[in-house]
Amino acid sequence: MEKEETDKPTHNKIKMNLEDIIKEWETVMHDEIAEYAEHRVASDEELFATAYHKMVHSPALETMLQLEHMYSRTVGQKTDEKKRLVQELSERQSHEMNDAVDRLDKDMTESKINELVAEHYEAHSFLQGKLTSELDTIKEAQRREYREWLMQMLEQNQTNSSIPTPNSPLTPHEIIIPNQVFDRGLSDTPILEESFTIHLGSQLKQMHNIRILSANVMDLCEVKDNKLFSEPTPQLLQTALALYSNDLSGLVLLADNKIGSRMIEDFQDICQKSTEFHFPHIEDQLTKISDIAQKFLKKEQKNLNRSHSELLQPGDFYITRHSNLSQVHVIFHMVSDDSLRGCDINSRHPVVLGLRNILKTACSNDITSLTIPLLLQYEMTEEMTISWCEKRAELVFKCVKGFMIEMASWGGSDLKNLQFMLPQGISNQVFHSLTEMLPRIFKVSNPKVLK
Amino acid sequence: MTIGLLNHPEMHFGAITFFAKQHKEDMCGSNGLPLTPNSIIIYGRAQMLKAIKSPYLCQYLDIIRGKHERTIVVSQYCGTPLSNIVENQDQSIDEIKHIVYQILQGLNELHTRNIVHRNLSTENILCQDNNVKLFNYGLYHLTDNGKLVSFPIIQLLYAAPEIYLDGIQHNHTNPKVDIWAVGMILAELVLHKRFWSTLKLGHRIRKVLSLLQSNTSVFERIAREHNCYEDYMKVPEDIKEIIEICLNINVDQRPTCGELLQKGVFNQQKTDKISEKKSLCEPFEIFTIHEFYHWWQLAGGDIFQELKKQGLIRSSPPILSLPQLVLIEGGLLGQDRNPATLFDPRIVEMPLASLYQRFENIPFTAFYPLIQIKSDIISRLEPPPYDATGLPLIIKERDPEYQFHRVILLRRLLHGYPFTRELIVREAEKDIPPLLRGEIWAALLHVKGDYKSHYMKIDKYSITPTDRQIEVDIPRCHQYNELLSSTDGHQKLKRILKAWVCKNSNYVYWQGLDSLTAPFLYLNFNDEAKAFACLSAFIPKYLHKFFLKDNSAVIEEYLAKFSQLIAFHDPVLANHLYEINFYPQLFAIPWFLTLFSHVFPLYKILHLWDKVLLGNSSYSLHIGLSVLTQLRDRLLNAGFNECILLFSDLPEVDIEKSVYLSTDTFKTTPTSITAREHENCEFQERDKYDISGVTLEDLKRERYPRISANDIVSLVRSNPEKMCMVDIRNMTQYNRCSVIGSINIPFSSVSFSDNNIENIGQHSQLLKETNNKVVVVIGDEETDMELFPTFLLKCNVKKVCVLHGGFNILLSVTPTILVSHSHNI
């Protein structure tokens, strides 16, 4: 009797354990082995990616870009109009307000003015809301139309083996022959840039291209639309061709610890200037990232030694994807803080470590062109003396070199092009001292002399 | 007919692919260096599988690393999986016995090497005309018992219950798990049934685990569950017993492979096998599947492409699978598992049609080349030999037909080593086929047959003071190479270095020995002992005394000789370097100490050493010269600082050009020009007419080389038109007796005030245009032996050298090369 009692629980325990064991094995088989994993159908995103990649590498390319360009012009016009209307309203309102204040001693009372303020505010946000939602509707419609058109094109393409000249759903309504070619560049400050071919490794030498340039970082993102042209800018062609390839191009931007804060507002505006046909709109991407971050940080609060557990920390970064920027596909938003303004940061600084993670992410995700702020700043500030710049550049050069050597053993894709960006308006003298520094840190390839 | 030989049923192969586990977060090891990627560890571990050769095992052929930790394993794949014939009712008991006997033989082979299969299933056993081969038996081993991959290595139905119980993380597996699997397979075969084939994943595991709780025989229980108790009853008792003991729940009571093979059931097979084994030694195979695979690759076979075609390598656009947030600690958030990275165990067989087509026209006789003698009649009947002469080496190495002929021939010659060594050397002078380079090098280095036991006897484990330096150097030695950067590679290199240090107590470990060992290890990765034997033969021949604790005298002499060699061939460059004080000491020590193995990447070293091994220890001086020749224009325009910068990181050197230039200068330079005191006399016999007794001081002062009387004599006799002898003694002496064809420029008649060749008078024109003649300065004790040759050198006269020992040494050599002019006057 006694014996039975003691036996039973152990028996149950074994049974219990067995069930756990079976479960455990089952899960790992599901997760890791294709045969047992759930059969997944290709997502919309993947289907569209395949279609787009195929079409963009066909004679349809020109029509596609043309179409995208016309769509973006519509959005652009609408955005301009929105700006104008809001501006007008603001002017009118401030005029009214001035009037009212002037009459304060006569027929106006303070409460009446308060009413007026409230009224103005309401009218303003109403107009803003209305125009924004109109814009969103246009974008949504464009996106749907474009994607449908593209899939249709692909189908046609597959049925007739010869590719017909595709018809765009929009017909170009205006063809203006420009009478002056390129007036761009006149207004811009001359771009300072210098390129190098360097190699790493003592016996087997791995080549990389490095470029130092001083420019406004937003130039890499913003699609400069020349009003006179109805043609899309040529950079877009390259960007579109590479979008679903294994040669992506990335850019490091600096952000603060709140996802989607004012610091990246300029950037957001640029993203919104035209329709995003491939990825979620920038706000949606940011919201999603924010959700992920909150969920994770709350859960892991105790496990990680983070000072502000619910906010991101310097060195963390989030990634957004874009198809409507002029030269980049992937943006790394690196969280930074004011300590970067100081002159005594070293290679253990969180932002530098974050840079290493960025290189690693680039390497394991086929991002083969990358732009990095050489001074870890995109704006000129007072602290940036010549010696400050030289010290900072030396640190970044050396660290990046170390990371690149490390990368070679990671077995990912090679970083083919690396761009170091300097703030716009940096003096010639600083620029040259930095370009002279580079060959001292990286080994510059000797030119091959053909005889 | 040719295709018939190639189209052998066993000459087929296939590939599987999987991803190694990525290192998470922290990417640095305890020594501060980056962690070795798992795919590289796998690459190293898998090499030994390639060396396993057994009729019961499919041979491993290649491991390929792709991007992002992808690993591809290529191995022989011939026949049909056993799973296709399990349900075949015609299988007789004898046939089944024969199959199981072979499976056990294969397993035994693995278990004696401490390899656990753990992946045994009817899918992985291939049958071909009653011959059985195990396939994919190395997966568990090469992934370090599954630690290097994220998926479990298991065959649901055949996994022993203890595998499930131990859990997923457990990775010390007893070889007995394979015995269980054999039991299950045998049970399936005799019942002609695939067990639980319709059940779902979880249920299958449950079924296997339920066997743990059976009180009766496991086999009986399985039979009852499948409604074949009657069949079960028909199974012969001895087979039943085998199944029963294999399917023992208690691991310890399960027999080993060896024990099973001893069982009486297999008596028939054993006697069959003995009768088969008649020949005394292994028959020579004209080519093996390794060569076959090599040719297939050369003929355009592309493993990646085939895997892609079958959908095993799928690429989804990377932009769709980016992470969304990366924390500073390295954690990735918002990245979904890419379904293309899941493990798909499918096997892709490689199509061979393109190879057959390419080799269609190769005549049958090409497989059996005649080596020693060939009669005219045979030669006339044969088609002209495949001609690749004149093609660049790199093209030759990639030409499938050419490599076919070379490999067939050299394999045969290597089979006859050491008796065929002379022939091997002769062939090696043409070129060395990459596939056989390791063996050919060993033959060139006279490696003897008992190298294995020699190596085995050396202590490679005791702690020595040099260990620390070795530990530091190894992770920095040619790490771009997958073999050398793998964990196995590090261990092997360490053992070889320690063995060398232990064996050569008169020498010390100098940094650079690691680089020197690297090519040998790379070529003989599966034969450490041979790598060691090659190294041990290489150093005395080419780097004699370089590894002395105080090697300064040896190195200094070598560098001085290098300077003289530059002066001999390129006085303009030599003068320039001399003027800017840019001495070889500043750049060339690592060149010669490691014979360029520290300077160039492996693939270049291989081509360079192909020639080094055919030359002697002064060959590397000529390589040094060829490197300088390639950089000549830039050196001539550079000052000291630029030169230092240029050599701090040697620019790309065209290695084929270097090989060509150095072979050329090596052949056209009289041997005594580069003769050294510290040469190993084992390889260089000397007599009194050779150069000896030159002090290091003298050597460093003299900017031109000396030439021996022996060389003069042979030059005068064989190629008098290639030399120009300048006798600088006074005219009386010259007239009395001089070397045939020599000219007289009395030392006292020349003014050395400025470097103008006209100063020497009537013969100046002759010395201005020497047409690559060797200019030998002959003097005696009474003449200053330095000023005149230095003067010639400064005037950029090429190939200036001085007769060692002066004129008088010739008097005793042989009077036939001397002549007297006095009669003519």
In a domain, B356, yes or no: no
End-to-end CA distance of chain B: 79
Domain residues for the domain of B779 are: 704-824
Q: How close does chain B come to A130, measured CA to CA in Å?
A: 31
**Of B708, B730, B710, the residue nearest B782 (C-alpha):** B730
Q: How many helices (H) and strands (E) does chain B have?
A: 40, 16
Domain boundary among B276, B311, B329: B276
State residue B275's pLDDT score: 65
CB–CB contact A319 B150 (8 Å) = no
Using the beta-carbon criterion (under 8 Å), do A353 and B328 form an inter-chain contact?
yes
Contact A365 B321 (CB under 8 A): yes
Q: Are A326 and A224 in contact (CB under 8 A)?
A: yes
A406 contacts in B (CB within 8 Å)? 27, 34
Nearest CA in chain A to B34: A406
Angle of helix A61-102 versus helix A44-56 axis, rounded to 10: 110
pLDDT tier at B675 (50, 70, 90 boundaries)? confident
| Confidence at A187, pLDDT banded by 50, 70, 90 | very low
pLDDT in tens, A332-357: 999 998 888 888 888 889 999 999 99
Residues B72 and B99 grouped into a single domain? no
Tell me if B10 is assigned to some domain. yes
Torsion of CA B239, B240, B244, B247, to 10 degrees: 70
Interface test with A, best of B320, B325, B481, B650 (most A CBs within 10 A): B325
pLDDT of A169 above 70 = no
Q: Which two tokens stand for residue B491?
A: 């261990």
Residue pair B120/B185 in contact by the 8 Å Cβ criterion: yes
Which residue in A22, A29, A289 is closest to B324 by CB distance? A289
Residue A408 contacts B, CB cutoff 8 Å:
yes
Domain-embedded: residue B689? no
Q: Provide the shortest C-alpha distance from residue A27 to chain B (in Å).
A: 10
Same domain, yes or no: B745 and B818: yes
**Which residues touch B672 (CB under 8 Å, ≥6 apart)?**
B690, B691, B706, B707, B708, B710, B711, B804
Q: Is the pLDDT of residue B22 over 90?
A: no
pLDDT digits (tens, 9 = 90+) for A374-420: 999 888 888 888 999 999 999 999 999 999 988 887 778 889 999 99
CATH of the domain at B768: 3.40.250.10
Same domain, B84 and B72: no
How many other CB atoms are found less than 10 A from the CB of residue B728?
26
Q: How confident is the model at residue B535 (pLDDT cuts 50, 70, 90)?
A: very high
Q: Say whether both B557 and B621 belong to one domain.
A: yes
Distance of CA B27 to the CA centre of its chain: 30
Where does the pLDDT of residue B34 fall: very low under 50, low under 70, confident under 90, or very high at 90 and above?
Answer: confident
Whether B417 shows a pLDDT value over 80: the answer reads: yes
| More confident site: B691 or B468 | B468
Q: Which of A33, A204, A330 sits opposite B322 (nearest CB)?
A: A330
Tell whether A35 is within 8 A of chain B (Cβ): yes
pLDDT tens-digit series, residues B537-553: 999 999 999 999 998 99
Residue B588 resides in a domain: yes
CB-based contact A365 B318, cutoff 8 Å:
yes
Per CB-CB distance under 8 Å, the chain A contacts of B635 are none
Question: What's the structural domain count of chain B?
Answer: 6
Whether B294 and B261 share a structural domain: no
Establish if B54 belongs to a structural domain.
Answer: yes
Q: How much is the pLDDT for A449? A: 63
Contact flag A33-B209 (C-beta cutoff 8 Å) = no
Mean pLDDT in residue range A81-109: 85
Q: What pLDDT is recorded for position B787?
A: 86
Q: Report the 3 state secondary structure along chain A.
A: CHHHHHHHHHHHHHHHHHHHHHHHHHHHHHHHECCCCCCCCCCHHHHHHHHHHHHHCCCCHHHHHHHHHHHHHHHHHHHHHHHHHHHHHHHHHHHHHHHHHHHHHCCCCHHHHHHHHHHHHHHHHHHHHHHHHHHHHHHHHHHHHHHHHHHHHHHHHHHCCCCCCCCCCCCCCCCCCCCCCCCCCCCCCCCEEEEEEEEECCCCCEEEEEEEEECCHHHHCCCCCCCCCCCCCHHHHHHHHHCCCCCEEEEEEEECCCCCCHHHHHHHHHHHCCCCCCCCCHHHHHHHHHHHHHHHHHHHCCCCCCCCCCCCCCCCEEEEECCCCCCCCEEEEEECCHHHHCCCCCCCCHHHHHHHHHHHHHHHCCEEEEEEECCCCCCCCCCCCHHHHHHHHHHHHHHHHHHHHHHHCCCCCCCCEEEEEECCCCCHHHHHHHHHHHHHHCEECCCCCCC
- Averaged confidence pLDDT in chain A: 83
Nearest CA in chain B to A350: B328
Residues B316, B253 within the same domain = no
B814 and B721 share a domain?
Answer: yes
b/e per residue B118-154 (b: at least 16 CB within 10 A): bbbbbbbbbbeeebbbbbbbbbbbbbeebebbbbbbb
Which pLDDT belongs to residue A183? 45
Q: Is B813 part of a structural domain of the chain?
A: yes
DSSP class of B498: H
Looking at the structure, tell me whether residues B132 and B222 fall in a common domain. Answer: yes
Alpha-carbon gap, residue B527 to B517, rounded angstroms:
13
B224 in a structural domain: yes
**Domain end point (choices B674, B690, B715):** B674
B333 and B380 assigned to the same domain: no
Q: ipTM score of the complex?
A: 0.85
Q: Examine the domain organization and report whether B268 and B138 are in the same domain.
A: yes
Average pLDDT over residues B637-650: 86
Mean pLDDT for all residues in chain B: 89
CATH number, position B599: 1.10.472.80
Mean pLDDT throughout A270-282?
Answer: 89
Is residue B355 one of the residues assigned to a domain?
Answer: no
User: Which of 170-209 (A) contact B at CB < 8 A?
Assistant: 201-205
Kindly state whether residues B206 and B137 are assigned to the same domain: yes
- The per-residue pLDDT for range B799-821, each reduced to its tens digit, is 999 998 888 888 877 667 788 87
Can you give the CATH number for the domain in which B147 is found?
A: 1.10.510.10
Asked whether residue B586 falls in the same domain as residue B654, the answer is yes
Residue-level pLDDT at A176: 44
